[in-house]
Amino acid sequence: MSEIRFIEGLLTELTPYVRERYAARKTLSVATKSNPTDLLTEVDVEVQQRAQRRLQSAYPDDLFIAEEEGLGLLPDDPDRRCWIMDPIDGTQNFVRGLFPAFGISLAFVRGGVVRAAGVMLPITGDLFLAERGQGAFRNGARLHVSDVDRLGHAWIEVDYGTQTKREETLRLSANIVVQAGAIRCVCAAVVGMCSIAAGDLDGYVHVGLNPWDYAAALLIVEESGGVATCADGSPLRVFGPQNGVIVSNGRFHEELLAALGRE
Amino acid sequence: MSEIRFIEGLLTELTPYVRERYAARKTLSVATKSNPTDLLTEVDVEVQQRAQRRLQSAYPDDLFIAEEEGLGLLPDDPDRRCWIMDPIDGTQNFVRGLFPAFGISLAFVRGGVVRAAGVMLPITGDLFLAERGQGAFRNGARLHVSDVDRLGHAWIEVDYGTQTKREETLRLSANIVVQAGAIRCVCAAVVGMCSIAAGDLDGYVHVGLNPWDYAAALLIVEESGGVATCADGSPLRVFGPQNGVIVSNGRFHEELLAALGRE
């Protein structure tokens, strides 16, 4: 089985469990991590463990990198085959919120490059899939970024993230907040980036993410015609140094980069 | 028929049309109003016209105030019976966006005070209803605000609105963005305020809204135990001077007001 079919199967298999726990979310046990709003639920842990078991069985020699439970390690050998997962990206939105803006994210990486990727939004049932060089799809329909070509008309998500990054995000995004056509903040990287791939959003700004937050969505955006860089304009990579995650449909990326504040 | 039953009936009646047009939104004709991202669709106009016809038939002597088509007038006689509607609050989200964060808003006002109110989120089918002194309900279930009691743990929506208000919003909200537990920006006042009523959000900040944006949601929030004021702490009223719309669950409202920036 190809990696993309494995991703499709696994994300589809995990979805009913997540939907069921979301429906009963008032009864969830919720723990906090680095601060009072950095949340971890039993669902994050269970999804990750189920995925890990399936991956160990299907690909016993591959490395598994994931957000929870000490699996947030980068490979010693950059050429190694590895899988990068965020079991629930947008855990806060899972726990609270009228709109279910969270997703399961899984990417297959070889040689430091994402080769196949999937993001499932369990409540809407939207499954985004991409293979390098083969395009990106939502529920089988080919995706294309929007044709918005200037910041003043663009919908931009400024992802304010957790409290520890808020001052820096304010500085980075102040000009963009003033100049953009519309500002949104949903705070789930996979949702923001897949929205760009689908043409529903034009740009996304974050001061810095972990590989599991964006690895899968990065390929989905690129295969839809979008662009992702660091704040200095260098290409966004899965491993290695990173200062900021700046994503757009590629039609006003230079203008977006130029508007980033650096007080 | 009581006003609240009229509201319930009308919002329910309008919903299938809005759902149908949302599903076919790629084919909508969209016009711009004050700036490129201040949008008006045929759906806003049609919903308002349908409501106006039903109200004129049921309450021929009442004033009808609404967002579109020159109906944005305030009553000469503040004691007059009037109905205040936003046919689609969150038109931008209607036109774009993975999540359907928009609503139909209708309030009945007498003596300058909202007496009965309804907000329908057409895609989820959530109907929020409130009568003064009788509590607020979502789909028949009584609503209560959250018990979050400090800004550092609170989910706050900062509504950045249209471009013309962006600089002022940045100044007003900068401290809140740094201090709050979580920041969101969905940009539909009825969704933000009804989320507070439902306990899914703890606060909402806007530099200034029109009566049709918040009249219905104001009563729904208050009847759920929440508080709405201007930026100076004075009560938020439907008509009259207004500087800012600051809404919370009432448990950290002073702290929220104190954090408002006034550079």
The CATH number given to whatever domain includes residue B97 is 3.30.540.10
Report the CATH number at residue A183. Answer: 3.40.190.80
Mutation for A interface: B185, B200, B220, most A CBs within 10 A: B185
Are residues B138 and B196 both part of a single domain? Answer: no
Q: What percent of chain A has pLDDT over 70?
A: 94
Q: pLDDT tens digits, residue range B103-148?
A: 999 999 998 899 999 999 998 899 999 999 999 999 999 999 999 9
Q: Residues A135, A155: one domain?
A: no
In this prediction the pTM is 0.93
Pick the residue with more confidence: B59 or A263? B59
The verdict on A136 and A157 lying in the same domain is: no
Which residue, B92, B111, B142, sits at the end of a domain?
A: B142
Judging contacts by C-beta atoms under 8 Å, the chain A residues touching residue B194 are 98
Question: Which residue in chain A is spatially nearest to B160 when comparing CA positions?
Answer: A183
Residues of B with CB under 8 A from a CB of A: 36-37, 92, 96-101, 121, 124, 126, 152-153, 155, 158, 160, 163, 166-167, 169-170, 174, 177-187, 191, 194-195, 198, 200-201
Does A34 share its domain with A96?
yes
Count how many domains chain B has. Answer: 2
Same domain? B105 vs B176? no
Buried b (16+ CB within 10 A) or exposed e, B246-256: bbbbbbbbebb
Both B155 and B32 in one domain: the answer is no
CA distance A129 to chain B (A): 16
- Whether residue A94 is predicted with pLDDT greater than 80 in this model: the reply is yes
Q: Which residue of A has its CA nearest to B96?
A: A200
| pLDDT at residue B214 is higher than 90 | yes
Domain limits for position A9: 3-142
Residue B73 and residue B199 in one domain: no
Residues B237 and B130 in one domain: no
Question: Strand B126-131 vs strand B113-121: parallel, antiparallel, or unpaired?
Answer: antiparallel
Whether residue B102 sits in one domain with residue B9: yes
pLDDT range class, residue B150, cuts 50, 70, 90: very high
The residue ranges of DSSP E strands in chain B, in sequence order, are 30-32, 39-41, 63-66, 82-89, 103-110, 113-121, 126-131, 136-138, 141-142, 155-158, 182-184, 203-206, 227-229, 245-248
Q: Is the same domain home to B176 and B105?
A: no
Residues A15 and A107 in one domain: yes
Q: Are residues B164 and B92 in the same domain?
A: no
Chain B contact set for A187 (CB, 8 A): 182-184
Last residue of one domain, picked from the residues A142, A172, A204: A142
Q: Is the pLDDT of residue A38 over 50?
A: yes
Of A87, A110, A142, at which residue does a domain stop?
A142
Residues of chain A whose C-beta is under 8 A from some C-beta in B? 36-37, 92, 96-101, 121, 124, 126, 152-153, 155, 158, 160, 163, 166-167, 169-170, 174, 177-187, 191, 194-195, 198, 200-201
Q: Which residues of B touch A177 (CB under 8 A)?
A: 160, 166, 169-170
Q: Hey, what are A160's tokens?
A: 């304010």
